């Protein structure tokens, strides 16, 4: 056996012994089994009920035919080992190659297989698609963050920006939110969010889905009249970068986060809280840049047990120490940021 495959097998066995009892006890059916734990074996393995999704990080440059065959053989050995140790049939192992994504590429459809199933998480149910998109519809690294949203939502009006498939909205509704508003540009993902709410027995009358460009909404709230009033809890989980053709301009979280937060504050009710998160490695939100905010870094507190990399994402709870002077109305974006 290839020494790297053998190292991988030993680590995967160790992870299975640690995670299987934990997942069963908590009724968590979607979790990470391996995430490049060994530097020499660059692979991510996620469990979704009876299936696996594997993301190999393979060299994609120029190779000779022999080198390509060697790489393919190595990958097949890893996949066979994964299937054998987890007891998942090989045909239920879905392989997706992660490449550097720009704009909305990671959210675009890549196949038409429609390998859908429902998985449980903390007593809730979520629809995932294991085949058709790079991501499955449920971000596993946000499991504990979703649970926090549930705890914070009782009696609150919740705004879920960049709502994707609505998992935060499900947790908020189950936590006793008075109402939720999920905003996303994709009709596909909003329909998915609606299905997730219905899967959990949540009525739709107080839990709305609004199709809109979030950045355009923040730049000019009058363009999206469906989002009205102020909210007690805002979930803000933006892309790290976007240049989608359906959006006006480009967005970069490192460059534009100052404007993003200040614009979002205009939707926050007195005493309200923003939960802000990003997967931008190396990102830091500095309190001294926002004297009007009380910022608490909860990244470590919300890192799930099945994730070992503390840099996988950062997460903050943000409260305003003073209310913005202007109510949600027309206001501009940064000159060199989004919209310009």
Residue 173 neighbours by CB under 8 Å, 6+ apart: 153, 180, 197, 200, 202, 207
Largest CA distance in the chain: 66
Lowest mean pLDDT among 15-19, 144-148, 320-324: 320-324
Structure tokens at 219: 């730049």
**For range 306-332, the mean pLDDT:** 74
* For residues 196-215, average pLDDT: 97
- Range of lowest pLDDT (21-25, 90-94, 284-288, 319-323): 319-323
Average pLDDT score over the chain: 89
DSSP assignment of 256-313: HHHHHHHHHHTTEEEEEEEEEEE--TT----GGG-TTEEEEE-TGGG--TT---TTS-
Mean pLDDT calculated for residue range 268-273:
96
* Cβ proximity of 112 and 19 under 8 Å: no
The DSSP string of 69-137 is: HHHHHHHHHHHHHHHHHHT--GGGEEE-------TTGGGSB------EEEEEETTEEEEEESSSBSS-S
pLDDT at 109: 52
User: Can you give the pLDDT at residue 265?
Assistant: 95
The confidence score (pLDDT) of residue 141 equals 96
Please tell me what DSSP assigns to residue 167: H
Q: How far apart are CA 45 and CA 266, in angstroms?
A: 40
Query: Within a 13 Å sphere around the CA of 336, how many CA atoms are in the beta-carbon half?
Result: 2
Per-residue pLDDT at 50 exceeds 90 = yes
Question: In the chain, what percentage of residues exceed pLDDT 70?
Answer: 88
pLDDT given at position 325: 52
Q: How far apart are CA 237 and CA 230, in angstroms?
A: 18
Distance CA 196, CA 74 (A): 38
Quote the pLDDT of residue 97.
Answer: 82
Average pLDDT over residues 88-95: 96
Q: Please give the pLDDT value at position 248.
A: 54
DSSP code, position 142 = G
């Amino acid at each position: 056996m290839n020494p790297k495959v053998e190292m991988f097998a030993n680590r995967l066995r160790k992870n299975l012994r640690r995670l299987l009892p934990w997942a069963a006890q908590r009724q968590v059916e979607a979790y990470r089994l391996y995430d490049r734990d060994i530097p020499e074996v660059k692979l991510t393995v996620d469990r979704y009920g009876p299936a696996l999704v594997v993301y190999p990080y393979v060299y994609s440059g120029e190779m000779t035919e022999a080198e390509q065959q060697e790489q393919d053989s190595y990958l097949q050995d890893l996949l066979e080992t994964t299937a054998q140790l987890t007891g998942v049939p090989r045909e239920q192992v879905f392989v997706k190659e992660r490449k550097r994504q720009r704009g909305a590429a990671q959210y675009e459809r890549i196949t038409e297989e429609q390998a859908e199933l429902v998985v449980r998480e903390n007593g809730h149910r979520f629809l995932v698609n294991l085949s058709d998109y790079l991501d499955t519809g449920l971000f596993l690294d946000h499991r504990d963050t979703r649970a926090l949203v549930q705890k914070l939502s009782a009696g609150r009006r919740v705004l879920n920006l960049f709502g994707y498939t609505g998992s935060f909205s499900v947790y908020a509704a189950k936590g006793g939110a008075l109402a939720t508003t999920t905003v996303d540009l994709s009709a596909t993902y909003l329909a998915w969010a609606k299905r997730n709410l219905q899967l959990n027995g949540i009525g739709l009358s107080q839990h709305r889905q609004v199709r809109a460009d979030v950045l355009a909404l923040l730049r000019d709230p009058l363009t999206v009249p469906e989002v009205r009033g102020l909210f007690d809890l805002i979930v803000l989980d933006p892309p790290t970068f976007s240049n989608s053709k359906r959006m006006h301009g480009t967005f970069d979280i490192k460059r534009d986060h100052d404007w993003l937060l200040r614009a979002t504050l205009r939707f926050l009710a007195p005493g309200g809280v923003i939960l802000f998160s990003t997967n931008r490695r190396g990102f830091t939100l500095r309190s001294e840049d926002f004297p009007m905010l009380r910022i608490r870094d909860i990244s470590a507190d919300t890192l799930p047990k099945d994730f070992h990399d503390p840099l996988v994402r950062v997460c903050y709870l943000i409260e305003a120490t003073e209310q913005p002077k202007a109510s949600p109305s027309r206001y501009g974006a940064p000159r060199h940021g989004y919209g310009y």
